[in-house]
Amino acid sequence: MSEAFNFSKYKLLSFVNNPQDVKALSKNQLQLLCEEVRDFTIQTVSKTGGHLGAALGVVELTIALHYVFNAPEDKIVWDIGHQGYPHKILTERKEKMHTIRKPQGLSGFLNIFESKYDSFGAGHSSTSVSAGLGMVAASKLLQKNNHVVAIIGDGAISAGMAYEAFNNAAEIGKKMIVVLNDNNMSISAPTGAFSRYLPRLTTSAPYNKMRDMYFGITKKLGLDIIAKRAEKSIKDFAVGSNVFEEMGFRYICAVDGHNVEDLVKILENIKYNLNEQTPVLLHIKTTKGKGYEPAENAEDKFHGVSTFNIETGEQKKSGANYSNIFASHLTNLASEDTNIVAITAAMKSGTGLSVFNEKHPNRLFDVGIAEQHAVTFAAGLAIEGVVVFCCIYSTFLQRAYDQVIHDVCIQNLPVRFVLDRAGFVGADGATHNGVFDVAFLRILPNISICSASDEVSLVALTNILHKHNSSPIALRFGKSDVIKIYNENEQFYYGKAKVLKQAKNPQICLVGFGITVKNCLDAYNLLDANLQQQVSIVDAVFAKPIDTELFASIAQSHKHVICVEENSIGGLATILLEFFYNYKNVSYQYITLPDEFTEHDSTANIHNKYGFSAEKIVEKIQTFICLDNNYVLNKNI
């Protein structure tokens, strides 16, 4: 971990540890606190890496919220966790910020187990309004006199779940406050009609009427802070000026989200003077990456960064990754086959598809943060004969499970799912680990599942997906370093595994899948020569269908089989358990995740903890063979 930070250079932040300390400041001190929190955030993330741009954009909002409301009694519900760093700093965690995303350190997201000030866990998008509305309903039922504020971004509001919550909000009959953080950015530039609608709210006639109305009231309260216009009462303004009002919200026009004193005054007015039965939406305009020039000028506004040089903004370079290898190859395939299209759900850069977009801009569909729509949209393309690659992170596909079942698998449509970040993702933790996809997909009729173990197999399996037109199929690959196991001319076939090591005196067979193939090979290299002669290694390649011919042969020639799968129980390990059950001469064991969620840590530490590391695999081998033989392990262990 990095060393703790010296706060002595900060005039205010050195004394601010919790929201009560924020409230003790005068309003004219808040701007200085904003500057210090922003600087500290930049200093911290430059050393730890993490999510920077979104955090810098909400510094003023965060301070205003904690100045006006009384957390944790009042609930401040953040959407996603990318915006949460300033919130963590002000809620008794500034001294631990150097540990963020590190083993045993702070989570990179909001976590109810980490702090009483984190009202709701947030690792994925578009949940804040629904969760906040549930808290409002609970407050009404329990007769509590607290406030609930939900923050949602203009990118996150593209998800259908947000609209479901908006649609329901007015029915609860108790005031809820929603802050729409409009920075014209998702992870990259937002897409869709709603992203084009928001700017019109600030220029249209309805906006002008609302501004007149709102500032008529604020002027009466001595809060004439932006415009001096007509003196109209809120009762004189007809509901129906925009989509939010149509759904029963009191809409407050777009205001400068970086003017902390104005935000405080507006939030105080909302808190104390607006109707207690009507939900309120405050629309603020912010800049992602605010206050740090390299972030403001970057295409992704420094959304997710590695460690970087503060002076130049230059990030620590990372090597090649599987996302870019896949996207580059798909781009080449699409040049040859004009029927290929790709879909992403607001992850164009994360999935590497920016290069596809540059070459084939009319054949990349970025549907925004809307995984459910992405899957059914893909089904609609597929049913018309389009060769569609639906590229979604493993952990995000969970949000579209019903669509995978009903709209793809039941209709047996050849949608090609490409599951990026399959397996452990390290610092992003439980919400982002892609460790359930094999288990939840393998139970579905019609779908096939394969996993790449290196760059050669990734390219080869992408080719198999391209030609697979009879049913849905999923290709998964991890976030690990790119390795090369196979020769360039290695041939791969649908439903077929690969034997990487064939034992001369076969006793035990290690079966890897995806990233764990390398772990199995590393374990093999730790064995002495005598023991190596008894160990075979197989890359399963496919979890569904499995290579029954090969595994039947293994059952006849080996005494023991160990499956090593970086996934939950229910995946390939369980499939093989069911298969080898019919072979009573084979002793079968597996290494998978236990029945628990895995918190953020380095992948190496996680592998060692749960038995996936080469050393732990060797220990498993010992339980079969070394107990009855006097073999010694390589001294390099």
Residue 88 reports pLDDT greater than 60: yes
Of all residues in the chain, what percent carry a pLDDT higher than 70?
A: 88
- The predicted model gives 293-307 an average pLDDT of 76
- The predicted model gives 76-91 an average pLDDT of 92
What is 51-82+108-305's CATH topology?
Answer: Rossmann fold (3.40.50)
Give the active site residues: 288, 371, 399
pLDDT tier at 454, thresholds 50, 70, 90: very high
- The predicted model gives 309-327 an average pLDDT of 85
Cα–Cα distance measured from residue 490 to residue 173, given in angstroms and rounded to the nearest whole number: 64
| Predicted pLDDT of residue 251 | 92
Of residues 631 and 421, more confidence is placed in 421
Q: What is the pLDDT of residues 467-486, one digit of tens each?
A: 999 999 999 999 888 999 99
Q: Residue 107: which residues within 8 A CB-CB, separation 6 or more?
A: 81, 100, 101, 114, 429, 599, 600
Residue 231 reports pLDDT greater than 50: no
> Which secondary structure element, helix H or strand E, spans residue 536, and what is its range?
strand 535-539
- The predicted model gives 134-138 an average pLDDT of 96
Residue 123 reports pLDDT greater than 70: yes
pLDDT tier at 202, thresholds 50, 70, 90: low
| Predicted pLDDT of residue 2 | 47
Lowest mean pLDDT among 155-164, 488-497, 539-548: 155-164
Shared fold status for 51-82+108-305 and 322-476: yes
Mean pLDDT for the chain?
88
Lowest mean pLDDT among 157-166, 381-390, 394-403: 157-166
Domain range list for the chain: 51-82+108-305, 322-476, 500-628
Residue 173 reports pLDDT greater than 90: yes
Of residues 102 and 188, more confidence is placed in 102
The DSSP bridge partners found for residue 193 are none
| Predicted pLDDT of residue 482 | 94
| Predicted pLDDT of residue 636 | 38
| Predicted pLDDT of residue 497 | 98
Q: What is the pLDDT of residues 502-530, one digit of tens each?
A: 999 999 999 999 999 999 999 999 999 99
Of residues 371 and 194, more confidence is placed in 371
Place domain 322-476 in its CATH homologous superfamily: Thiamin diphosphate (ThDP)-binding fold, Pyr/PP domains (3.40.50.970)
| Predicted pLDDT of residue 203 | 52
| Predicted pLDDT of residue 7 | 86
pLDDT tier at 300, thresholds 50, 70, 90: low
Task: Indicate the class that CATH gives domain 500-628.
Answer: alpha beta
Q: What is the pLDDT of residues 545-556, one digit of tens each?
A: 999 999 999 999
pLDDT tier at 11, thresholds 50, 70, 90: very high
Tokens of 9: 């250079």
Residue 229 reports pLDDT greater than 60: no
CB 583, CB 558: distance < 8 Å = no
Residue 86 reports pLDDT greater than 50: yes
Residue 448 reports pLDDT greater than 60: yes
CB 418, CB 475: distance < 8 Å = yes
| Predicted pLDDT of residue 50 | 85
| Predicted pLDDT of residue 220 | 46
The rounded Cα 149 to chain-centroid distance in angstroms is 23
Residue 297 reports pLDDT greater than 90: no
Residue 628 reports pLDDT greater than 60: no
Q: What is the 3-state secondary structure (H, E, C) of 356-392?
A: HHHHCHHHEEECCCCHHHHHHHHHHHHHCCCEEEEEE
- The predicted model gives 90-98 an average pLDDT of 95
Cα–Cα distance measured from residue 275 to residue 286, given in angstroms and rounded to the nearest whole number: 27
Of all residues in the chain, what percent carry a pLDDT higher than 90?
A: 70
| Predicted pLDDT of residue 225 | 45
Helix (H, G, I), strand (E, B) or coil at 620: helix
pLDDT tier at 223, thresholds 50, 70, 90: low
Tokens of 500: 């990487």
Q: What is the pLDDT of residues 571-600, one digit of tens each?
A: 999 999 999 999 989 999 999 999 999 988
The DSSP bridge partners found for residue 422 are 434
DSSP 8-state symbol, 311:
T
Q: What is the pLDDT of residues 562-572, one digit of tens each?
A: 999 999 999 99
